[in-house]
Structures are given as structure tokens and as C-alpha cells.
Amino acid sequence: MSAPRPLTELTEDEIMFRDAVYGWARDVVGPKVAAMDEHGELDKALLPQMFELGLMGIEVPEELGGAGSSFFSAILAVEALARVDASVAVVVDVQNTLVNNAFLRWGTEAQKSKYLGMLTSKCVGAYALSEPSSGSDAFALRTRAEQRGDAWILNGSKLWITNGNEADVFVVMANVAPEKGYRGITSFIVERGFPGFSVGKKEDKLGIRASSTVELVMQDCVVPAENVLGEVGVGYKIAIETLNEGRIGIGAQMIGLAQGAFDYAMRYMLERKQFGKPIAEFQGLEFQYAQVATEIEAARLMVYNAARLKDAGRPFVKEAAMAKLLSSQVAERAASLAVEFLGGVGFTKEYPVEKFFRDAKIGKIYEGTSNMQLGTIGKLLRQAYGARG
């Protein structure tokens, strides 16, 4: 009897898929990265290719228009894209790990047929939970929903919504019964063209600038009754469970980013000579890049392990929080060191490592800050040790 395959080991098919995504990102996205960053906008020519390549519906069953693959494959795609551009990676990440996942787990058959068909072929999706007054305290949201006849009327605003400029389908959280607290939170499927819905201000960000981050405004926004995702009052559960999976996606983005910065820095250090030899041979640098390479690999294994656990139907919340926490720390450190390894030129926009450095910062903030991850890990550890007596 053969030994079970380790959770972190890649199959030949997975390696081929990862390498194919990276090859496309390197050859097609790579030449556009600097311009997209400068203008703060995704090159719209990329979106049709992303749909054609199946990157926008990796886990969606083939009968609904998707690739019929695994969550782990989506994680590999995000990682591969982030080695080239974290902005393109997060478009794919949000589409797969948040929006598509919400429909797959909570949608009715009619909702899956309609919206997953759109999301896998032509429509970008966005996930709208955060508000001006509710960030880490997500369930303090103030957006309200009131049922009138065969429709729900939504009023409120959302902030920090990724993919907002490109999206046509939005998963929006609103409270239908504020007196019930978080148990009134309900998830709604909102289309861009619904009356009373509009996209507001676009944020001018430090990093991942080509990824749109916008405000959403709902003023008597009319949403058909059949567009409740899940059941009325279970939106908080949808939010928690979806974000638990989404954190693994951010972990993948961060390890890809770290690897991209490290790859460039290593090539530079092998070519750059001082005192008659490549600077990579100086022990002062050697010890630093050996350490950061080890940290990247450790973070990668944590992300892969969390994704495998999720696919296997095993508990993964603690592992997802740990993976996101560590990978965001490693990405920031790796990108910062990459700037230092390049010296003066690393501090200029002519070289890509300064962009990796700027992009890395968001990893400790979105889809749950580092402190929120630590809180989750701590709570689950107390529960585990308490159960042991």
C-alpha cells in the first residue's frame, strides 16, 4: 500500500497548470504592469483573456461554465499571477475565493445557473461587506434592507470594495432587522444596472493600484426577492465562512508576491559585481537571502496545507489564519529586502522591486488584519487546549 500523498505535494497536472498561468502572466501581463500601476487601472484587454483561460471560474463545475477544478488550483493561479502582478492576482482571487465560492455554497440552482454562467464567461464579481464604520467589526454594518412587496430596498454605502469598477455582479451584505444585531444580516445579489445602485469614489492607493477599490452607494436600490443569497438572516454566516476561505487566497497572493520580488533580486545579485565578484557571493547578503528564501518556502507550505485541508473537507480555519498571517509578514520582509539588495536602483520606479514593496503592505490589512488573525488563532487554541482538559 502506497503512502498517502502529503497535503503540500503538487501533482504533475497542478505543476503544469501553475506554470501555464505563470507563463501567461510573465509574457502578457508583465509588459503592462508598470503602466497599469502608474495609471491606477487594469488594462481592460486582459479581462477577456482571463475569462478565455478559465481563470475566472476555476472551481465552478463545467456544466455551469467553469473549469471544474479545485480550490487548490485557484490558489496556485493566484500565486502564479502575483509573482508578476499582485493587482491581477487579486482580481482572480476575489472572483474565485469569495464571489464564486459564495454562489457555489449558498446559491439556489437558479442563482447558480444564471450568475455563475455570467461570472465564468464575461462578468467580474465583487464582494461588498466593509463600510466606513465597519471594518474589522464587520457586523456593525449600517446598510439596511427593507422588504416591499416582491423586492428588497437597500440603503447605505460600502467602502474598500475590490473589483468594484470592473464588476457587474455584487454580493452585498445588508441588515434586514437591526434589532436582531448580526442575526439580521442578509446577503443580496446586486447587479450593476439595478435601480438605485451606483459606484462611487475610487481610492488612490499606495499599492495594488491597478486593482480598483471603490465605494458603492445604494439609494433605494431595488433588488428582486429571488436575489437573496442563502436565507434571510444568515448573511453573517456566509460572510464568516467565505472570508475564512478568502484568507487562503490572500496568503497565496502574498507568497507569489514574495517569490516575484525574490526572483528579481536574486537575478540582479548574480549579475551585479562589486570588488570583482557578484554581490550574491558576499556572505553578508548570502545569509539574508538564504533566510528569506526559507521563510517564503515555509509560508508557501502553510498556504498549500490550508488549501488542501479545505478541499479535503477538514477543519482549516486556524490554518488559514496562520497562513495569511505568516505569508503577509514574509511578503513585506522579502519585498523590503529586495529593495535593499538592489541598492539605489531598487529605490527607483525603473526597477520592479519598489512596486512589490508597495503592493506587499496590503497583505497585513485586507480580509482581516494581522491582529484579527492572531485573535482567531488564539481563540481556536484556547478551545483546543480547553477541550483536552
Question: Where in the chain are the domains?
Answer: 12-124, 126-233, 237-388
pLDDT at res. 5: 56
CA distance 158 to 129: 7
- Torsion sign across C-alpha atoms 269, 271, 272, 277: positive
Residue range 93-99: mean pLDDT, rounded: 98
pLDDT of residue 377: 98
Please tell me whether residue 145 adopts helix, strand or coil conformation.
strand
Distances (CA, A) of 225 to 111, 113, 147, 187, 338: 12, 17, 8, 11, 52
Mean pLDDT of 323-345: 98
Handedness of CA 93, 96, 97, 99 (dihedral sign): positive
Residues ≥6 apart with Cβ < 8 Å to 47:
124, 166
Burial class (CB in 10 A: 0-12, 13-18, 19+), 248: buried
Q: Please indicate whether residue 367 is annotated as part of the active site.
A: yes
- What pLDDT shows up at residue 4? 53
8 A C-beta contact, residue 250 and residue 366: yes
Gyration radius from the chain CA atoms = 21
What size, in residues, is the chain? Answer: 389
Phi, psi of 161 (to 5 degrees): -90, 110
8 A C-beta contact, residue 358 and residue 296? no
Query: What is the pLDDT, as a whole number, of residue 245?
Result: 95
CA angle 80, 83, 89 (to 5 degrees): 65
Amino acid at 327: S
CA dihedral 33, 200, 157, 163 (to 10 degrees): -20
Q: Which three cell numbers stand for residue 355?
A: 512596486
DSSP 3-state assignment of 206? coil
Please report the pLDDT score of residue 6 as a whole number: 60
Overall CATH class of domain 12-124: mainly alpha
Closest CA to 227 of 96, 82, 114: 114
Biggest alpha carbon–alpha carbon distance for the chain: 80
pLDDT band at 133 (very low <50, low <70, confident <90, very high): confident
Give the pLDDT mean for 218-234.
Answer: 97
Catalytic-role residue among 79, 166, 319, 367: 367
Q: What percent of the chain has pLDDT over 90?
A: 95
- CATH number for the domain formed by residue range(s) 126-233: 2.40.110.10
Question: CA–CA separation, 174 vs 227, rounded Å?
Answer: 13
* C-alpha to C-alpha distance for 119 and 122, rounded to whole angstroms: 6
Assign a CATH topology to domain 237-388: Butyryl-CoA Dehydrogenase, subunit A; domain 3 (1.20.140)
Across the chain, mean pLDDT equals: 96
Separation of alpha carbons 76 and 96, rounded Å: 12
- How far is Cα 223 from Cα 211, in angstroms, rounded to an integer? 27
Q: What is the DSSP string of 364-381?
A: GTTTS-HHHHHHHHHHHH
Contact 142, 156 (CB under 8 A): yes
- Does position 1 have pLDDT exceeding 50, yes or no? no
Average pLDDT over residues 376-387: 94
* Spatial separation of the C-alpha atoms in residues 46 and 234, rounded to whole Å: 36
Backbone angles phi, psi at 160, to 5 degrees: 65, 40
Q: Percentage of the chain surpassing pLDDT 70?
A: 98
**pLDDT at residue 214 is higher than 90:** yes
Q: Is 15 exposed, middle or buried (0-12, 13-18, 19+ CB in 10 A)?
A: exposed
pLDDT band at 8 (very low <50, low <70, confident <90, very high): low
Answer for the pair 161, 130: CB distance below 8 angstroms, yes or no: yes
Which cell is 240 given?
A: 464568516
pLDDT at position 138: 80
**pTM, full prediction:** 0.95
pLDDT digits (tens, 9 = 90+) for 254-292: 999 999 999 999 999 999 999 999 999 999 999 999 999
Position 259 scores a pLDDT of 98
Are 115 and 286 in contact by the 8 Å Cβ rule? The answer is no
Backbone angles phi, psi at 64, to 5 degrees: -105, 10
SS3 at position 30: helix
Q: Cell numbers at residue 115, please?
A: 450568475
389 — pLDDT class (breaks 50, 70, 90): low
